[in-house]
Structure 1
Amino acid sequence: MATISDKDWNALKKKLTEDGRIEKFMLGEPEQEYVTSRGMDILRLHATDFVNKRLAPANPKNDGRQTPTKGHPVFIAQHACGCNDRDAVEEFFGYEKGRELTADEVDIIVDVILKWIEEHLD
């Protein structure tokens, strides 16, 4: 399983902060409760499933509109971390549109989502 290094995470966070994304999105009380009641292992399963279904295909269904901005902590994190659609993934991660994401790329995106969630729990 691929993970993002601390150096790469900090570089990505800087880019997201400059874009205004990382501070624009927050976990509300219901989302924080969801995370604490289920745990990070379950959240990793959810994030992996969402990324595989909604981002990993070469041409995801409804690209640009496939990730809600509320309803699940992973969705909020996806917007905050620049992995809510393929344009954002290309901009922030450098994974070009029009080709399927590799398993390692999916793992790195999921890792980023979980790091953001962990950092935004009160």
Structure 2
Amino acid sequence: MRELDELFAALARSRFRSSFKLNAHDRAYLHAKGLSLIQDHARDFIAKRLAPAVIANDGKQTPYRGHPVFVAQHATACCCRGCLQKWHLIPAGRALSADEQAYVVRVLVHWLENVD
């Protein structure tokens, strides 16, 4: 797992990762529901879609839109196990630990708190 300052500096240098922004609907949803509830959603999404050791549709399990967390997952390279391995140094092929899941949620929340 990487330090957040180092991670976000690297993400900012990626044209693809830095291109993600919340649309008006996602921004309104985030503000209406509040960051605490969105963080709960993130925990649930990560536990169900990213944490298992084997994911049948890995690399395609995270939609590009429809929820602020989905956008944050792509912006922070927390969208699939391959990206987690490449960007966050979390190996694929095994279930994510509770600490790793908490780290991913922390990364997502950090992005959501700081998105333009």
Return the TM-score normalized by structure 1: 0.90
Residue 31 of structure 2 corresponds to residue 36 of structure 1: yes
Could you list the runs of 5+ residues in structure 1 that have no partner in the other structure? Answer: none
Identity of aligned pairs, percent? 37
Q: Which residue of 2 aligns with 1:114?
A: 109
Residue 100 of structure 2 corresponds to residue 105 of structure 1: yes
Question: In 1, distance between residues paired with 2:79 and 2:45?
Answer: 10
Q: Which residue of 1 aligns with 2:50?
A: 55
Give 1:113 shift.
0.4
Corresponding residue to 2:85 among 53, 69, 90: 90
Question: In 2, distance between residues paired with 1:21 and 1:116?
Answer: 15
Structure 2 SS opposite 1:46: helix
Corresponding residue to 1:17 among 12, 26, 51: 12
Report the aligned-residue RMSD: 1.5
Question: In 1, distance between residues paired with 2:56 and 2:26?
Answer: 26
Higher mean displacement: 102-111 or 16-25: 16-25
Structure 1 SS opposite 2:26: helix
Aligned residues: 116
Higher mean displacement: 81-90 or 17-26: 17-26
Contact 1:51 1:110 in 2 (8 A): yes
Contact 1:87 1:97 in 2 (8 A): yes
Question: In 2, distance between residues paired with 1:24 and 1:36?
Answer: 21
Return the TM-score normalized by structure 2: 0.94
Could you list the runs of 5+ residues in structure 2 that have no partner in the other structure? Answer: none
